[in-house]
Amino acid sequence: MHETLYRPGFDVSIPLPAKRHFSNLRHLGPFQRKYLMTFRGLRYLENDGTLRSSSDFRGMHNGADIVVVTSCRHVGNGRVRKENATIDEECKRDEAIHKSYKFDDLMNSTFGLAPAGRQPSSYRFAEILSAGGVPVLVVDNYVKPFETLIQWHRCALQFPSSEMHRIVKTIRAMKPAEVKRRQRYCLHVYERWFSSDEALLQASIASQKTRFMGAFPSWEPPLID
């Protein structure tokens, strides 16, 4: 849901549901994981989603504890690649690196990047939560889901596209106790509101109920524990 279109007190922003859930990783603490931060996904060469093609975004990759790999293999990129040989060669190099990493392996990460693509929301958001990771949103003009229920500042980090250069420095500077608190709350959010289609439905209903508070005897308070 875009901030510029969102009607507070009327609309409810809901997430894209996870395409896959990574329950096998949720037991791992934030400092028991293979990577510090990861992303593996498509990049876009024009129109919406081009932040994934920026040097600030792709430049976070160090091939060690931070892995950020992209592929240009999207149908909308064909014309640009055909018309620009330099970009085409760059895409070929990126795709070779992209193929060398497996998506499942990269989910074993303390932080997970969830950059905007063709729209502000991303399937990666819910998938990172399912794996017990801390989401790092890179997005402009985005209303996070179920904001009347969830205190997102206790879980996710969010950066506008103009401040991607701050991400690595910020996560490396975070104290272990804060990372553990964020992971614990993120897991609480996932298990209660994101873990299944039924949980998403209940979150949508609860978001509506928060507008009426005492009008519903069974009203559930926001998730603040």
pLDDT value at 50 more than 70: yes
Report yes or no: 138 and 161 within 8 Å, Cβ to Cβ: yes
pLDDT of 5 above 80 = yes
User: Which range among 84-88, 126-130, 208-212 has the greatest average pLDDT?
Assistant: 126-130
The whole-angstrom separation of Cα 175 and Cα 154 is 14
> Mean of the pLDDT values across residues 186-195?
96
**224 — pLDDT class (breaks 50, 70, 90):** low
For residue 159, the model assigns a pLDDT of 97
Nearest to 156 by CA among 115, 106, 203, 195: 115
CB-based contact 9:85 (threshold 8 Å): no
Give the pLDDT score at 219: 46
Alpha helices in the chain (DSSP H): 55-58, 78-83, 85-99, 103-106, 123-130, 167-173, 176-189, 197-209
Residue with the bigger pLDDT between 73 and 169: it is 169
pLDDT at 214 over 60: no
The pLDDT of 36-61, averaged and rounded, is 91
% residues pLDDT > 90 (the chain): 68
Which pLDDT score is estimated for 35? 98
The pTM assigned to this predicted structure is 0.89
